[in-house]
Structure 1
């Protein structure tokens, strides 16, 4: 920005501050009046970041009390709203805090640390807390649970996400957390406390932590083992053999049968056909196969949607792609801010769950 514009902006701000001081003292320079409430005491310097660059502003000081500069800039906030909004939006577009700090330096002038950017992003904490305290209406027939790995200083962490699907196929994120097995139970327990009832089916992979938490918090709700994950495990069990593709193709047909009984019959026929070729793979696939056939308990128009965890997997793939440029996170709050900000930005989070 041209220096003349910065100079003019600085003069305008200082004139406004002088007017504030005159109103505060109820007297002008060297004015003798009975209504005077104090005396001037020079100036002090403040640095103010604006869209025009970094400005050095002379703030008037008085002997009695302190001038309220809130009309111009907050006492503890040196960046005006326009600058903050740009920096926050840059972060939500998928840049790291360091990259956002570099952007601020290039665009607005001056040096901004990545710690300062992190502090600017704490506005998300209040929105996240409010969102997590909202009641959840019983409108979700199927709920998906899955996790994604996130890079954190000191070691990777798993973020558990819970999504609900409505009758119209709309997918809403209900909550998430940086998880351990215990936190997964707490997450589901909190969802139940907030009103997540009437669920007819939970869908996830075969994670022991997820399944244990579901059995404890929602023991009455059936669990669907994602058929895609079951087929992926079968592929690994078969190994690189010449009959792998044919064996997998026939196994996949089990989950496309017109009824649950037809699926069971198809699975038994498949097992008899391939048992001699890959006995361990067949045994593993058939173990608890009914867990992957729970989707047949729902109406037929739901089968394609709920036999796998794909709706949530697609969301996770997009989220992972958007988080990758942010690099490694420093702590759990930083992860939660990034995820919440991204999902809020592209409308995967509803600010209310009661509609």
Structure 2
């Protein structure tokens, strides 16, 4: 009990690698120093019995109690040893901002890939646990993921992550133009409203269409989804325009994963990543609100009133 859950999970993964004979000399030395040399498969399974039920219960907890207007999703690729072979697997992760403005890790799942089927299974599972009231989903532009979002969150708005989008555009821009174009793209994304953003877009397209045709094609095609957040009241935009919050969380996971390099089993992946996410979730629950939701719900009421008035006037 000297170690917190994520440290226990990391040690268990190292012990499992040693017992299965797939560890390096360095990992053996670290493990023996921390855990002694007297451990076996049965020691590991006994220790897992203490940790796994806690992580499983947290990762499958009901989500019905509060609505989650904002959901941010991302995936990270890990390597897992399965049936004697090393395979790439995707860890699907969702974070929600609830009606009170607090962040929660909604859950994680290890999928075979980032396909539409994997994401669909993940979203179905979140909804079965009670996820509801989703108005905006933020993610990278991955075709399987976007299709699954459209299928499972009908009526919600999709916000394309501006960081990834900007990277996609600049990757297709000649090096000499990247710095100036970056500044102009920032101005578009930080525009006060969609109308101004479109005006700035047209100026950029006119200026760079011949100099960076591929980049302008990407910009024009993805523009509307990348500025979806501009429809929201101003205080909500900065924190909902990218998946950066989740990327930072993934970086924390990567720091531990680099020690292991290849997870000895799927279970060890869920155990370690789940423990890290659970610890972050507990910090968020006892920390400050991420967003003050008062203005958001007032804005929503106003919109719904306007649309009702419109229906009445049409009749």
Q: Same fold (TM over 0.5)?
A: yes
For residues 250-270 of structure 1, the C-alpha deviation after alignment (integer angstroms, 9 at most, x for no partner) is: 112100000011111111111
Alpha-carbon distance between aligned partners in 2 of 1:161 and 1:349, rounded to the nearest angstrom = 17
Asked if the contact 1:295/1:306 (under 8 Å) is kept, the reply is yes
- What runs of 5+ residues in structure 2 fail to find an aligned partner? 19-25, 286-315
For residues 79-109 of structure 1, the C-alpha deviation after alignment (integer angstroms, 9 at most, x for no partner) is: xxxxxx3477584384433489866755775
2:206 counterpart residue number: 272
Structure scoring higher RCO (CA < 8 A, sep ≥ 6) equals: 2
Asked if the contact 1:203/1:223 (under 8 Å) is kept, the reply is yes
1:143 counterpart residue number: 71
2:108 counterpart residue number: 176
Asked if the contact 1:173/1:350 (under 8 Å) is kept, the reply is no
Asked if the contact 1:102/1:112 (under 8 Å) is kept, the reply is no
2:56 counterpart residue number: 129
Given candidates 198, 209, 216, the residue that maps to 2:151 is 216
For residues 74-223 of structure 1, the aligned pairs below 5 Å read 85-86=1-2, 91-92=7-8, 94-95=10-11, 96-97=14-15, 98=18, 105-106=32-33, 111-113=38-40, 116-117=43-44, 119-136=46-63, 137-153=65-81, 154-166=86-98, 170-179=102-111, 180=113, 181=115, 182-223=117-158
1:331 counterpart residue number: 265
Greater helix content: 2
SS in 2 for 1:267: helix
Alpha-carbon distance between aligned partners in 1 of 2:46 and 2:174, rounded to the nearest angstrom = 50
- What runs of 5+ residues in structure 1 fail to find an aligned partner? 1-84
Total equivalences in the alignment: 266
Alpha-carbon distance between aligned partners in 1 of 2:98 and 2:47, rounded to the nearest angstrom = 35
Q: Given the two structures, how large is their TM-score scaled by the length of structure 2?
A: 0.76
Q: Given the two structures, how large is their TM-score scaled by the length of structure 1?
A: 0.68
Alpha-carbon distance between aligned partners in 1 of 2:179 and 2:236, rounded to the nearest angstrom = 27
SS in 2 for 1:220: coil
CA RMSD of aligned residues (A): 2.7
